[in-house]
């Protein structure tokens, strides 16, 4: 390859370029806007992509909706990298579980706290754009999402009446009180995330890496997330493990297994 | 971006080939997808168990299509609501299946899924043959530019893989696709439910010598590189961080390198690329199609979002320029489209105000013929002409390319249609345009007969500026020279054509719209039209200009407000100042003077001089 030639893009380059394009569209069209930082691997990749899009800066606030039940390692990580990456960090609290819909199964009811905490934060700051790191391959309901997903004034997701989205033209809000969920990672798969983490050397909470034969594949609240059996203690080993794995990423998330429609109900109400 | 020195033997991760599966409802798309995933060993264990349990709970045999109906609400209804994406691997190559629903009211969901597919599988029930949605979906494949189409004649077991019957269906479908200029790669007789000719060759159709579906999919070529084409980079945004200005955007085609000389959008300014910028990546002085980058320019200009960057100094490498555009429309709004409606045309990152100047032809989905019509029905396809307020830069739409991908949005920013841009539209080409009985006499012939060209001079200015007076005198002078001139002035049209309208902003806009259409009809008959209308708002004049097109000349009758007030030929200022007329332009309503009028006629000197100003401009335009 001659040094002067533009290189051929590989799959990660293509995903990266598309995510940067989406973040730049959102920043231009949705003001004020904020990015949801759950401290997990996907949202770290998202913060990283924002820095790619804006030449090392994240020119909008980064929100952490705190259930108060995250792992201590995660809080330490948050405080360290909020400073290192010069993030404008906004913290949001969640109401107690007793205030949640009692018809939901226990784990989903606990997860619903985050939905309400997020809704309160969006209303308080009047955000018109909220960037979230969900992916299509995580869960069947998320596979139905748009890149720009409009939400009504009460934050609900109208699954059956989504706007058309093609040729990189995205819907922007058209009524008072609406906001748009922006999903720059929608097309990424779990393996893409890990390969990108490896390529870019993106820091992660070490709960993702095996200790005593167990590691977390997906990180939620302490009481509703469980680790998987694994010997993978480095990014490369995790990649090797995933290349042969056939179980679902969210297998360790209790609420996904409670009833057929629990996750769907959470998402319609505004859960990620 | 990438590690530029990584070895070429490395697996290229994450490059997926998106394929869309389309076809009439119940012709077996979902079953096919379930079967594809099963045959390629792509089902995650968890999901397989879910399907089996779901089926059991409902007392049903295992249905492959349940894989896709992952939403509770869908399962209860028994239809796939939205498009979704399902990855699978074939001999180490990654594919993504885009599932598109068959119900016609869900066209927009299908487009959402299908628009970026590289190939399509059109599923046709071998016993039922071509149906309404078969035609509709095939039409759509053409409009969104998918040229690689594989036809699967599904449920062939229901007619015992009868060669004669299958050949007949194949003939029908080939004929249909040929009319749409779609090149059919393969027509495969198959049974998705039983697995015939999906992964393994059917023993029930020994006469068939073509590939199985998986073999056909493996033959899909990756998209051609867009690097060798002239550069197109639509400006997405301009940032300033730590004193450095960055022009951000994605390269749609071609390459850009430091030192390149570029033209910036329609204004024609030029700049040199000082630096190709990326964050956290080794510095490379060049970037190619598909990359989202930022540029530093020298001089440090500030382009607008939507400005197209393209190579300077090479006419052949420049985009087209036009103010009237022919597009192939797919219409997604629940109500029909009519001539005269206004939208925003989004083209890459640019947005333009456009008016539907003509519905040239609508596609009849029963036989795919084109016929004139007054409206485009919901979910309809048509060729239409869009008029833009000014010349825009664009490249015509081509399959597999990012060029010319126009999208129409309404004033709520809702996408109401796709409008691939085919090319510039000729003005005289108005067979089914605003006046559907347009004459066969061409503009050139008319110009020859009259001895002059046609034109519309739109005189705007404050009430009392002298517009009507100047227009009437000019009419007289030009008529004496043998020119064919008509005057449309505000009071005259309001006494007849527009007598139902008041002076609210909406009514004023409607008044202007009607006058503009009349002016266009007169102009197309070869006349010179002088319009004398206050038309106080720039956006309303832009609409008029969009309706009239290239014949439009904006004339600002520039008279000092004090003089207008003092003249007050109709006593209106006096009444307005007494508060007896609400919203009177120049007193209680704003007047926005044109920023760049074609002609400025001073209105405060003597009338003869003002008239000469106007007639001189008319002479220049029509001789």
For chain A, give every domain's residue range: 13-189+258-268, 202-256
| Cβ-based contacts of B280 with chain A (< 8 Å) | 51-52, 56, 200
pLDDT for position A263: 65
Domain covering B233-317 assigned CATH 2.100.10.30 in the classification: no
| Cβ-based contacts of B257 with chain A (< 8 Å) | 4, 6
Residue B430 binned pLDDT confidence (cut-offs 50, 70, 90): very low
Whether B101 has a pLDDT exceeding 80, the answer reads: no
Question: Which of B292, B351, B378 is the best residue to mutate to test the A interface, defined by the most A CB atoms within 10 Å of its own CB?
Answer: B292
Q: B308 to chain A nearest CA, in Å?
A: 16
Find residue B189's DSSP bridge partners.
B153
Q: Do A136 and B257 touch (CB under 8 A)?
A: no
Q: Which of A249-263, B119-133, B142-156, B243-257 has the lowest mean pLDDT?
A: A249-263
Q: Do B280 and A140 touch (CB under 8 A)?
A: no
Using an 8 Å Cβ cutoff, are B159 and B127 in contact? Answer: yes
Q: Which of B85-89, B154-158, B173-177 has the lowest mean pLDDT?
A: B85-89
Q: Which among A8, A24, A248 is the nearest to B236, CB-wise?
A: A24
Residue B69 binned pLDDT confidence (cut-offs 50, 70, 90): low
User: For the residues B162-168, what does the mean pLDDT come to?
Assistant: 95
Which residues of chain A fall short of a pLDDT of 70? 1-5, 139-140, 173-174, 246-248, 250-266, 272
Query: Which residue, among B267, B256, B270, B318, has the nearest Cα to B298 in the 3D structure?
Result: B270
3-state class of B27 per DSSP? coil
pLDDT for position B564: 86
Q: B110 to chain A nearest CA, in Å?
A: 9
User: For the residues B138-158, what does the mean pLDDT come to?
Assistant: 91
| Cα-based distances in Å from B399 to A163, B147, B190, B222 | 24, 7, 28, 13
- A-chain residue closest to B16, CA distance: A11
Q: Which among B13, B46, B407 is the nearest to A251, CB-wise?
A: B46
| Cβ-based contacts of A51 with chain B (< 8 Å) | 279-280
| Cα-based distances in Å from B410 to B167, B170, B539 | 46, 41, 16
Q: Which residues contact A87 (CB under 8 A, 6 or more apart)?
A: A37, A47, A58, A62, A81
Pick the CATH number of B443-622 from 3.30.499.10, 2.60.120.10, 3.30.70.1290, 3.40.50.300: 3.40.50.300
pLDDT for position B59: 65
**H-only helix segments in B350-433:** none
Q: Which of A127-136, B158-167, B257-266, B447-456 has the lowest mean pLDDT?
A: B447-456
Whole-number average pLDDT of chain B = 84
Find residue B417's DSSP bridge partners.
B331, B408
Find residue B119's DSSP bridge partners.
B19
- Gap between the Cα atoms of B137 and B417, Å rounded: 16
Quick one: CATH architecture of A13-189+258-268?
A: 3-Layer(aba) Sandwich (3.40)
| Cβ-based contacts of B77 with chain A (< 8 Å) | none
Question: Which of B5, B8, B13, B348 is the best residue to mutate to test the A interface, defined by the most A CB atoms within 10 Å of its own CB?
Answer: B13
User: For the residues B487-508, what does the mean pLDDT come to?
Assistant: 85
3-state class of B102 per DSSP? coil
Q: Which two tokens stand for residue A71?
A: 């792992």
Question: Which of A55, A59, A264 is the best residue to mutate to test the B interface, defined by the most B CB atoms within 10 Å of its own CB?
Answer: A55
Q: Using the structure block, give the residue that is written with the tokens 């209860």.
A: B76
- Gap between the Cα atoms of B331 and B334, Å rounded: 9
pLDDT for position B492: 83
- A-chain residue closest to B12, CA distance: A10
- Gap between the Cα atoms of B97 and B90, Å rounded: 12
Report the half-sphere exposure of B441 (CA within 13 A, side-chain side): 10
Report the half-sphere exposure of B361 (CA within 13 A, side-chain side): 11
Q: B365 to chain A nearest CA, in Å?
A: 22
- Phi then psi for residue B199, to 5 deg, are -100, -35
Residues of chain B with CATH 3.40.50.300: 16-218, 443-622
Whether B46 has a pLDDT exceeding 70, the answer reads: no
Using an 8 Å Cβ cutoff, are B343 and B416 in contact? Answer: yes
Pick the CATH number of B320-424 from 2.40.30.10, 3.40.50.300, 1.10.3720.10, 2.60.120.260: 2.40.30.10
CATH superfamily of B16-218: P-loop containing nucleotide triphosphate hydrolases (3.40.50.300)
The 10 Å CB-count burial string (b at 16+, else e) for B9-36 is eeeebbbbbbbbbbbbbebbbbbbbbbb
Whether B75 has a pLDDT exceeding 90, the answer reads: no
Using an 8 Å Cβ cutoff, are B388 and B324 in contact? Answer: yes
Q: Which two tokens stand for residue B89?
A: 């691997």
Q: A136 to chain B nearest CA, in Å?
A: 8
| Cβ-based contacts of B45 with chain A (< 8 Å) | 246-247
Q: Indicate if B535 belongs to the active site.
A: yes
Query: Which residue, among A120, A165, A160, A159, has the nearest Cα to A267 in the 3D structure?
Result: A159
Using an 8 Å Cβ cutoff, are A62 and A89 in contact? Answer: yes
pLDDT for position A104: 84
Task: Report how far apart the first and last C-alpha atoms of chain A are (Å, whole number).
Answer: 43
3-state class of B157 per DSSP? helix
- Gap between the Cα atoms of B481 and A228, Å rounded: 93
Which one-letter DSSP state was computed for residue B303?
Answer: P
Q: Which of A76-80, B289-293, B347-351, B535-539 has the lowest mean pLDDT?
A: B535-539
Whether B245 has a pLDDT exceeding 60, the answer reads: yes
pLDDT for position A114: 85
Q: Which among B250, B278, B414 is the nearest to A163, CB-wise?
A: B414
| Cβ-based contacts of B258 with chain A (< 8 Å) | none
Q: Which residue has the higher pLDDT, B368 or B404?
A: B404
Q: Do A159 and B82 touch (CB under 8 A)?
A: yes
Query: Which residue, among A129, A15, A120, A115, has the nearest Cα to A67 in the 3D structure?
Result: A115
User: For the residues B11-17, what does the mean pLDDT come to?
Assistant: 62
Q: B608 to chain A nearest CA, in Å?
A: 51
Q: A61 to chain B nearest CA, in Å?
A: 16
pLDDT for position B52: 55
How much is the pTM?
A: 0.74
| Cα-based distances in Å from A61 to A85, A173, A250, B474 | 12, 20, 28, 62
Rg (CA), chain A: 18
Using an 8 Å Cβ cutoff, are B607 and B469 in contact? Answer: yes
Whether B104 has a pLDDT exceeding 60, the answer reads: no
User: For the residues B381-408, what does the mean pLDDT come to?
Assistant: 91
How many angstroms from the chain centroid is the CA of residue A244? 24
Query: Which residue, among B482, B132, B261, B293, has the nearest Cα to A9 in the 3D structure?
Result: B293
Q: Which among B280, B284, B286 is the nearest to A200, CB-wise?
A: B280
- Gap between the Cα atoms of B249 and B273, Å rounded: 14
ipTM score for this prediction: 0.91
B294 Ramachandran zone, left/alpha/beta (phi>0; psi -120 to 50): beta
Which pairing describes strands B369-371 and B375-376: parallel, antiparallel, or unpaired? unpaired
pLDDT for position B439: 41
- Gap between the Cα atoms of B383 and B360, Å rounded: 5
pLDDT for position B346: 96
- B257: part of which helix (H) or strand (E)? strand B255-257
Whether B215 has a pLDDT exceeding 50, the answer reads: yes
Whether B11 has a pLDDT exceeding 80, the answer reads: no
Residues of chain B with CATH 2.40.30.10: 233-317, 320-424
- B-chain residue closest to A190, CA distance: B14
pLDDT for position B79: 35
Q: Which residues contact B528 (CB under 8 A, 6 or more apart)?
A: B452, B454, B455, B456, B457, B478, B483, B484, B485, B486, B618, B622
pLDDT tens by residue, A63-111: 999 888 888 999 999 999 999 999 999 998 888 888 888 888 888 888 8
Using an 8 Å Cβ cutoff, are B26 and B102 in contact? Answer: yes
| Cβ-based contacts of A10 with chain B (< 8 Å) | 2, 12-15
pLDDT for position B3: 36
The rounded percent of chain B whose pLDDT value lies above 70 is 86
Using an 8 Å Cβ cutoff, are B136 and B365 in contact? Answer: yes
Using an 8 Å Cβ cutoff, are B407 and B385 in contact? Answer: no
Find residue B118's DSSP bridge partners.
none
Which pairing describes strands B292-298 and B244-250: parallel, antiparallel, or unpaired? antiparallel
| Cβ-based contacts of B42 with chain A (< 8 Å) | none
pLDDT for position B70: 46
* Catalytic residue from among B54, B83, B468, B535: B535
Residue B175 binned pLDDT confidence (cut-offs 50, 70, 90): very high
Using an 8 Å Cβ cutoff, are A223 and A71 in contact? Answer: no
Q: Do B14 and A15 touch (CB under 8 A)?
A: yes
Whether B434 has a pLDDT exceeding 50, the answer reads: no
Q: Which among B2, B115, B332 is the nearest to A13, CB-wise?
A: B2
Q: Do A55 and B12 touch (CB under 8 A)?
A: no
| Cα-based distances in Å from B316 to A83, B310, B312 | 51, 11, 10
Q: Which two tokens stand for residue A66?
A: 């705190």
Q: A40 to chain B nearest CA, in Å?
A: 21
Q: Do B82 and A191 touch (CB under 8 A)?
A: no
Q: Do A174 and B414 touch (CB under 8 A)?
A: yes
């Amino acid at each position: 390859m001659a040094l002067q030639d533009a290189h051929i893009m590989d799959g990660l380059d293509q995903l990266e370029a598309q995510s940067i394009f989406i973040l730049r569209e959102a920043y231009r069209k949705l003001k004020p806007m904020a990015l949801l930082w759950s401290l997990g691997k996907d949202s770290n990749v998202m913060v990283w992509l924002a820095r790619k899009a804006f030449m090392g800066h994240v020119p909008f606030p980064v929100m952490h909706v705190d259930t108060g039940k995250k792992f201590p390692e995660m809080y330490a990580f948050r405080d360290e990298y909020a400073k290192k990456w010069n993030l404008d960090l906004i913290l949001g609290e969640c109401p107690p579980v007793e205030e949640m819909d009692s018809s939901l199964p226990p784990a989903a009811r606990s997860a619903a706290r985050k939905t309400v905490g997020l809704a309160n934060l969006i209303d308080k700051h009047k955000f018109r754009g909220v960037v979230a790191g969900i992916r299509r391959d995580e869960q069947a309901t998320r596979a139905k999402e748009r890149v720009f997903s409009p939400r009504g004034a009460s934050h609900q997701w109208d699954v059956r009446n989504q706007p058309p989205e093609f040729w990189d033209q995205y819907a922007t809000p058209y009524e008072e009180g609406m906001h748009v969920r922006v999903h720059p990672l929608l097309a990424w798969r779990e393996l893409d995330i890990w390969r990108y983490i490896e390529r870019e050397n993106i820091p992660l909470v070490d709960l993702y890496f095996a200790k005593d034969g167990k590691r977390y594949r997906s990180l939620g609240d302490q009481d509703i997330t469980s680790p998987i059996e694994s010997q993978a203690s480095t990014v490369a080993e995790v990649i090797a493990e995933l290349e042969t794995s056939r179980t679902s990423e969210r297998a360790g998330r209790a609420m996904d297994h409670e009833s057929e429609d629990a996750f769907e109900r959470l998402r319609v109400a505004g859960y990620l | 971006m990438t590690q530029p020195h990584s070895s070429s033997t490395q697996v290229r991760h994450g490059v997926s080939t998106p394929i869309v599966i389309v076809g009439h409802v119940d012709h077996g798309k979902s079953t096919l997808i379930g079967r594809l995933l099963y045959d390629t060993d792509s089902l995650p264990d968890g999901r397989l168990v879910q399907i089996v349990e779901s089926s059991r709970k409902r007392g049903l045999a295992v249905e492959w299509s349940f894989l896709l109906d992952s939403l509770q609400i869908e399962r209860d209804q028994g239809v796939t609501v939205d498009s979704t994406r399902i990855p699978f691997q074939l001999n180490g190559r990654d594919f993504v299946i885009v599932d598109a629903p068959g119900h016609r009211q869900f066209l927009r969901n299908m487009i959402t899924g299908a628009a970026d597919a590289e190939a399509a599988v059109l599923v046709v029930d071998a016993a039922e043959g071509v149906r309404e949605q078969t035609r509709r979906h095939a039409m759509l494949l053409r409009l969104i530019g998918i040229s690689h189409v594989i036809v699967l004649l599904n449920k062939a077991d229901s007619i015992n893989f009868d060669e004669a019957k299958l050949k007949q269906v194949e003939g029908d479908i080939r004929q249909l696709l040929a009319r749409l200029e779609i090149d059919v790669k393969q027509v495969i007789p198959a049974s998705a439910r039983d697995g015939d000719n999906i992964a393994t060759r059917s023993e029930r159709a020994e006469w068939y010598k073509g590939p199985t579906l998986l073999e056909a999919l493996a033959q899909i070529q990756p998209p051609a590189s867009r690097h060798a084409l002239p550069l197109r980079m639509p400006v997405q945004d301009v940032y300033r961080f730590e004193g450095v200005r960055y022009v951000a955007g994605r390269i749609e085609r071609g390459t850009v390198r430091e030192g390149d000389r570029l033209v910036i959008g329609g204004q024609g300014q030029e700049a040199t690329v000082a630096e190709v910028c990326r964050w956290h990546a080794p510095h490379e002085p060049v970037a190619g199609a598909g990359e989202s980058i930022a540029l530093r320019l020298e001089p440090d200009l500030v382009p607008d979002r939507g400005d197209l960057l393209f190579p300077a100094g090479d006419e052949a490498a420049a985009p087209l320029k036009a103010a009237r555009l022919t597009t192939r429309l797919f219409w997604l709004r629940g109500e029909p489209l009519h001539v005269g409606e206004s939208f925003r045309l989004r083209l890459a990152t640019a947005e333009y105000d456009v008016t539907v100047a003509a519905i040239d032809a609508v596609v009849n989905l029963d036989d795919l013929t084109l016929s004139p019509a007054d409206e485009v029905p919901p979910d309809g396809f048509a060729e239409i002409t869009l008029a833009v307020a000014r010349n825009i830069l664009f490249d015509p739409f081509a399959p597999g390319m990012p060029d010319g991908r126009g999208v129409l949005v309404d004033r709520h920013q809702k996408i109401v249609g796709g409008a691939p841009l085919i090319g510039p539209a000729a003005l005289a080409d108005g067979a089914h345009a605003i006046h559907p009985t347009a004459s066969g006499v061409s503009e050139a012939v008319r110009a020859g007969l009259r001895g002059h060209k046609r034109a519309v001079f739109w005189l705007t200015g404050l009430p009392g500026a002298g517009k009507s007076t100047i227009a009437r005198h000019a009419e007289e002078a030009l008529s004496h020279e043998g020119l064919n001139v008509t005057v449309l002035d505000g009071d005259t049209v309001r006494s007849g054509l527009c007598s139902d309208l008041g002076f609210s902003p909406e009514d004023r806009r409607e008044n202007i719209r009607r006058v503009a259409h009349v002016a266009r009809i007169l102009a197309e008959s070869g006349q010179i039209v002088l319009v004398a209308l206050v038309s106080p708002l720039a956006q309303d004049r832009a609409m008029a200009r969009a309706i009239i097109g290239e014949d439009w000349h904006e004339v600002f009758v520039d008279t000092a407000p004090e003089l207008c007030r003092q003249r007050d030929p109709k006593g209106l200022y006096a009444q307005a100042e007494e508060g007896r007329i609400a919203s009177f332009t120049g007193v209680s309503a704003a007047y926005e003077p044109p920023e760049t009028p074609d002609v400025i006629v001073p209105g405060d000197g003597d009338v003869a001089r003002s008239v000469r100003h106007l007639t001189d401009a008319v002479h220049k335009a029509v001789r």
